[in-house]
């Protein structure tokens, strides 16, 4: 693959890495992202240990793996590793150390680990508790803790937690708890800051009630509460001047199937196969970005981190952004050279689906992004299950003088790949493909208009194709 991989791309980590639930921060001149750790072809969420990736702020496309920063067996409640490490968050305490907050998958309490450096290794520190020693989540009347998000101001740390399924009246919403300077002891008991679906009537959150994934940021004097709504694919936000009261729903920052976006497709047409969403925002080099995740491998359990550049308007609002292939690049990619297809930001077929279909890899009804090998193998991702009508879209490129295009395909397929600059537009090139068990190059002349455009590939033929890359030439 050529140097195009050195641009900012989505997903921003290598195609064989699966880090969802990303919480991004800038520490000591580097961008650090903390998330859970899915397993390729895994049977459930978050099966691997926590690892960390970081990149220099002046070269934010150059990500480096910091290795394992915390193992599931490091928690005293989990010596056999039978519980998973769910989505974490990190904050700098009053003592200047880095505190990692997380919840194991079968207990209602919040665990904390600590390290002197942002890249680990973190050591178990304790459990969030009341002054009498009772653990948060175990006191009578407490709701179970989940998905901690943290913000430290002075000697206080604000801890946001919660998981609220539709119709579950035992869950009231996302909670905000205030911790003392020891990062464990509760100063102020939990209060609800965003309601669950059964308790949202009359609030600004109706239709976008809290589901999971609370994250908190402060911009100026305004607190931004970022969360996943009950429709799952949305990463929404609410704002307040008070970290524990008065949050008003504001909108969707990004959807991992691009619903609500009507700039390149109908508003209610899914542009990708969505699912749960989790992430947050960060400022890098005076620009703001949202980190979120997409679903791959026709499964809920192989999620990959993506980045989009966002704008924060003068009134503090964040307009919803499209999913793109551009990642931290934040601008159109070079419309020349070879690109891997795992950077597709649109993927769909005539079997339209808002959510990632269960076992799509097995039933061949939907195209998927996948890889060869097993978890941890550094195998380049590609698109599988390209059946008739399957369409892969890539946004955006800056084209200039492109007159030839080639694709790398394998599989029991016979037909054509049609190339367009819009998902339903004029076919600019038709590339015949045939049965083959090895990756094979096929090419065609093409005249792509100069300027910034998308690129879409639609399969029209028999059988099932796998699609590895495309190459743009002058």
Report percent pLDDT > 70 for the chain: 98
Domains and their CATH numbers in the chain: 3-331 (2.115.10.20), 335-473 (2.60.120.260)
Residue 21 known to be catalytic: yes
How far is the CA of 446 from the CAs of 246, 393, 474, in angstroms? 56, 17, 10
Instruction: Reduce the DSSP state of residue 461 to 3 states and report it.
Output: strand
Mean pLDDT of 354-371: 79
DSSP 397-438: EEESS--EEEEEEEESEEEEEEEESSTTS---EEEEE--EEE
User: What is the distance between the alpha carbons of residues 465 and 8, in angstroms, rounded to a whole number?
Assistant: 27
CA distance 347 to 393: 6
**pLDDT at residue 342 greater than cutoff 60:** yes
pLDDT at 192: 98
* pLDDT for position 359: 58
Given the residues 23, 49, 89, 212, the one annotated as active site: 212
pLDDT at 360 over 70: no
Adjacent-strand bridge partners of 461? 415
Residue-wise pLDDT tens digits, 89-123: 999 999 999 999 999 999 999 999 999 999 989 99
Burial 155-186 (b: 16+ CB within 10 A, else e): eebbbbbbbbeeeeeebbbbbbbbbeeebbeb
Q: What is the pLDDT of residue 357?
A: 75
Residue 414 pLDDT > 50, yes or no?
A: yes
Q: What is the per-residue burial (b if ≥16 Cβ within 10 Å, else e) of 61-81?
A: bebeebebbbbbebbeebeee
Q: What is the pLDDT of residues 31-43, one digit of tens each?
A: 999 999 999 999 9
- Please report the pLDDT score of residue 406 as a whole number: 98
pLDDT given for residue 1 in this prediction: 43
- What are 286-335's pLDDT values in tens digits? 999 999 999 999 899 999 999 999 999 999 999 999 999 999 998 999 99
Residues 7-60: pLDDT tens digits? 999 999 999 999 999 999 999 999 999 999 999 999 999 999 999 999 999 999
**pTM exceeds 0.85 for this model:** yes
> Out of 205-214, 246-255, 305-314, 364-373, which region has the weakest mean confidence (pLDDT)?
364-373
Reported as half-sphere exposure (CB side, CA atoms, 13 A), residue 68 has a value of 10
Residue 349 near residue 272 (C-beta atoms within 8 A): no
d(C-alpha 455, C-alpha 344), whole Å: 10
CA dist., res. 185 & res. 323, Å (int): 40
> What's the chain's average pLDDT?
96
Residue 367 reports pLDDT greater than 50: yes
Query: Given 17, 21, 23, 209, which residue is catalytic?
Result: 21
Query: Given the structure tokens 């090139």, which residue do they identify?
Result: 429
Predicted pLDDT of residue 2 = 53
Give the tokens for residue 443. 């090419």
Beta bridge partners of 288: 283, 310
The pLDDT of residue 351: 87
Whether pLDDT at 415 is above 60: yes
Task: Identify the band that residue 440 occupies on the pLDDT scale cut at 50, 70 and 90.
Answer: very high
User: Would the pLDDT of 4 be above 90?
Assistant: no
Sequence-distant (6+) residues with CB within 8 A of 198 are: 167, 168, 169
Q: What is the pLDDT of residue 5?
A: 74
Q: Which is nearest to 134 in space by CA: 157, 156, 110?
A: 110
């Amino acid at each position: 693959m050529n140097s195009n991989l050195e641009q900012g791309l989505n997903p921003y980590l290598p195609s064989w890495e699966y880090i969802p639930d990303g919480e991004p921060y800038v520490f000591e001149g580097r961008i650090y992202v903390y998330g859970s750790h899915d397993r390729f072809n895994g049977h459930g969420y978050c099966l691997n240990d926590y690892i960390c990736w970081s990149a220099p702020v002046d070269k934010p496309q150059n990500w480096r793996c910091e290795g394992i920063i915390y193992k599931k067996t490091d928690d005293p409640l989990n010596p056999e590793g039978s519980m998973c490490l769910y989505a974490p968050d990190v904050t700098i305490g009053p003592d200047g150390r880095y505190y990692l907050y997380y919840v194991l998958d079968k207990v209602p309490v919040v665990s904390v680990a600590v390290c002197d450096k942002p890249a680990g290794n973190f050591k178990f520190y304790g459990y969030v508790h009341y002054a009498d020693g009772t653990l948060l989540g175990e006191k009578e009347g407490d709701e179970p803790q989940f998905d901690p998000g943290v913000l430290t101001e002075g000697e206080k740390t604000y801890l946001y937690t919660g998981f609220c399924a539709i119709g579950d009246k035992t869950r009231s919403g996302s909670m905000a708890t205030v911790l003392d300077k020891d990062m464990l002891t509760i100063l102020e008991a939990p209060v609800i800051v965003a309601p669950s679906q059964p308790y949202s009537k009359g609030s600004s959150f109706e239709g976008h009630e809290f589901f999971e994934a609370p994250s908190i940021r402060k911009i100026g004097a305004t607190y931004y509460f970022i969360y996943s709504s009950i429709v799952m694919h949305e990463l929404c936000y609410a704002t307040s001047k008070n970290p524990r009261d008065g949050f008003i729903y504001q909108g969707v920052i990004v959807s991992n199937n691009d619903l609500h976006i009507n700039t390149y497709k109908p508003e209610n047409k899914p542009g990708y196969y969505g699912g749960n969403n989790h992430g947050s925002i960060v400022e890098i080099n005076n620009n703001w970005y949202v980190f979120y995740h997409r679903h791959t491998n026709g499964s809920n359990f192989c999620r990959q981190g993506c980045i989009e550049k966002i704008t924060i308007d003068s009134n503090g609002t964040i307009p919803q952004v499209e999913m793109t292939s551009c990642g931290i690049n934040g601008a159109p990619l070079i419309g020349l050279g070879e690109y891997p297809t795992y950077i597709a930001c649109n993927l769909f077929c005539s079997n339209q689906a808002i959510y990632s279909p269960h076992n799509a890899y097995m039933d061949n009804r939907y195209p998927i992004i996948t890889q060869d090998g097993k978890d941890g193998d550094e195998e380049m991702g590609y698109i599988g299950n390209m059946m008739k009508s399957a369409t892969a879209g890539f946004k955006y490129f800056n084209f200039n003088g492109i007159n030839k295009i080639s694709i790398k395909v394998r599989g029991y397929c016979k037909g054509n790949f049609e190339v367009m600059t819009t998902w339903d537009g004029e076919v600019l090139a038709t590339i015949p493909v045939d049965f083959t068990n090895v990756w094979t190059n096929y090419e065609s002349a093409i005249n792509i208009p100069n300027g910034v455009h998308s690129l879409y590939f639609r399969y029209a033929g028999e059988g099932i194709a796998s699609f590895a890359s495309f190459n743009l030439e002058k």
